[in-house]
Structure 1
Amino acid sequence: MNIAASILYSLAVLTFLLCGYYYLGYRSQKKEWNKKIKEWFPEEQRKSMVSKLGDRFDERESSKALAAKLQNANVKLLPSEYFGALLVGGLTLFILFYAIFNMPIAISILLPIFLMVATHFLLFYLRKNNYENRFNEQLGEVCRLMGNAARSGLTINQGIDIVARELSVPAGNEFKRISNELKLGVPLEPALRAIQKRNKSREFNLFIATLLIQKKTGGNLARTLDTMAETFEDRKVLNQTIKTMTSEEKYISFIVPAMPVFLLLVMNNVMEGFIDPLWSGFGLIMLALFIGAIVLSFLLIRKITNIKV
């Protein structure tokens, strides 16, 4: 009797272990199946009301011009996200001026609005053509890759395809677009001209002219691209040297205008009513001169340090 009970007990334990083993295996396979199903048939996630409003705003025609400006300034934000950031920044400045620096309520409302509008225009002024500059910094590597492709006996279209696979953004995305258009049957010249509308720099114009002339007249394309690559690399080194030498002055252009404004706010926090004389007749004249001097100093320093090669 004891032997039979022991055998039944052992069989029960063995059955339990086997069931647990197969159950764990089934759960593992189920996770893999669910993962593959989600990859093959992705479900559209539910969006919040704010996200839906942002998508509607981004789809408007007026937002497309702003999206082009953000791309040219190399700001990786959607138009709705950009306006949301400006709104949050304005509210933060309002709390800062009103609760910390004890500014009057009217000034605490108007000053953040002025600063956000100034930031909007200043951002696109300072980062103007930033996307083009990043693209042009990769032109040397583009020429080397296409030169190696031409030296290996590949065509220009195949060289563009290699560049699209090997390079990162922004040149990788632009050449990927050219490669896709070429695969769809678009001729080379219209495909390049379409990219030229978004990048009108002289370096990229020279690159396009070289490709089109070599395609029509023939010649040693690999040698020409190698020479262009060396030229672009030398220009890149020179621009980087100038940027390094003028970096201190560029930071000064921000510090010099911001320092008196910060000191004025601190003094108003320490001594209540310190800035009240500024709202009188003579004080408004002094305030206008003060703001004009700050803007002028910023523009002059930026103009001096803006060295073009």
Structure 2
Amino acid sequence: MDIIIAVLFASAALSLILMVYFFLDYRRHKQDWKKKMRTWYPEEKRKSAISVLGDRYDQSPSSEKLHRKLQMANVTLLPSEYIGIHVLGFLLLFVVFNMIFSMSVLVSLLITAGILGAGHFLLFYMRKNRYEERFNEQLSEICRLLSNASKSGMTVTQGIDLVAHEINSPAREEFKRMSYELKLGVPLEQVLRKVQERNASRDFQLFAATLLIQKKTGGNLASTLETMAHTLEDRKVLHQTIRTMTSEQRYISIIVPAMPVFILLMMNNIMDGFTDPLTTTPGIVIMILFVLGIILSFFLIRKITNIKV
């Protein structure tokens, strides 16, 4: 009897293993067939109404200014996505202040609007030159690529086309545009002037001037670009060292103003009516002075730590 039970148990276990094996094999073949069908007959993905509205806004002229600001801040978001994040942030912060911290509806709306407005301003203030900084950080690599291209016998136009394929963003987009314009017959000087209008940094001005002077007067372009690459790398290392040494002060300028606000909200959640004195005339005066002090200290700290290299 025990032998029969053991045989039946082993047969059941083997059947289960075979069933799982054939089921997984069937799923694998099914997925491969689906991939082939998608390749042969691609289906157009349906978009929701929100996505369609977002695409229309991104393509409208009213979004160009916001798109340009996001690009200069090196924020990889579409204007519709940025606005959508603000809408979700508004709803979330309103629920937090009204439900968790027990603030009134009007106060919650004002605080939420103030935080989002300040966040919008600080984002573009703190990252207003981030695009140029990222672009300038790549200039040393660009100079080295152009120098190697010149050593191998390529022209400046061919070197720019090489950089457009080898460099990463954000310089890739600029050099791709330069390469297309040069292939269409636009003079190099005019192409560089257009890029200088979009990137007015000193490093790129020096880079553009070097290319134009070497093109007009001749000379060893490879050696000049190689020397410039070493100089830009030394400047980048110095800039990163300064940012590392001043990182504590820059984070303090953000954390210190946020701490008393958080403590005030927590005390209001623990003790009912804790913020009621702030609605009186002396309380309003104190709040105004407090906000002005926070804003002044923030800009002073950022100004002191903003060391030009």
Q: Which bracket does the TM-score occupy, shorter chain normalised?
A: 0.7 to 0.9
- Write the deviation string for residues 236-259 of structure 1: whole angstroms up to 9, x where unpaired: 000000000000111111111001
2:295 is the alignment partner of 1:307: no
2:257 is the alignment partner of 1:257: yes
Tell me the equivalent position of 1:212: 212
Tell me the equivalent position of 1:94: 94
Tell me the equivalent position of 1:8: none
Looking at structure 2, the residues matched to 31 and 108 of structure 1 have their Cα atoms a distance apart, in angstroms, of: 51
Tell me the equivalent position of 1:105: 105
Give the secondary-structure state (helix, strand or coil) at the position aligned to 2:198. Answer: coil
Tell me the equivalent position of 2:266: 266
Matches within 5 A, 1:277-292: 277-292=277-292
Where does the alignment leave 5 or more consecutive residues of structure 2 unmatched?
A: 1-28
Distance of aligned partners of 1:278 and 1:27 in 2 relative to their CA distance in 1, 3 Å threshold: closer
Matches within 5 A, 1:12-27: none
Structure 1 residue 141: Cα displacement? 0.5
Give the secondary-structure state (helix, strand or coil) at the position aligned to 1:197. Answer: helix
Looking at structure 1, the residues matched to 261 and 39 of structure 2 have their Cα atoms a distance apart, in angstroms, of: 58
Structure 1 residue 154: Cα displacement? 0.8
RMSD of aligned C-alpha atoms? 2.0
Deviates more, 1:257-266 or 1:167-176: 167-176
Letter in 2 for 1:301: I
Matches within 5 A, 1:55-66: 55-66=55-66
Where does the alignment leave 5 or more consecutive residues of structure 1 unmatched?
A: 1-25
Query: After TM superposition, what 4+ stretches of structure 1 lie above 3 angstroms from structure 2?
Result: 26-38
Matches within 5 A, 1:29-44: 34-37=37-40, 44=44
Tell me the equivalent position of 1:186: 186
Looking at structure 1, the residues matched to 64 and 95 of structure 2 have their Cα atoms a distance apart, in angstroms, of: 32
Structure 1 residue 295: Cα displacement? 1.2
Tell me the equivalent position of 1:122: 122
Matches within 5 A, 1:123-142: 123-142=123-142
Letter in 1 for 2:242: I
Letter in 2 for 1:119: G
Tell me the equivalent position of 1:229: 229
Letter in 1 for 2:305: T
Letter in 2 for 1:197: E
2:59 is the alignment partner of 1:74: no
Distance of aligned partners of 1:116 and 1:45 in 2 relative to their CA distance in 1, 3 Å threshold: same
Distance of aligned partners of 1:28 and 1:107 in 2 relative to their CA distance in 1, 3 Å threshold: closer
Tell me the equivalent position of 1:17: none
Letter in 1 for 2:241: T
Structure 1 residue 284: Cα displacement? 0.6
Identity of aligned residues (%): 61
Distance of aligned partners of 1:28 and 1:285 in 2 relative to their CA distance in 1, 3 Å threshold: closer
Tell me the equivalent position of 1:13: none
- Write the deviation string for residues 255-298 of structure 1: whole angstroms up to 9, x where unpaired: 11001101101110111100001001111111111111111111
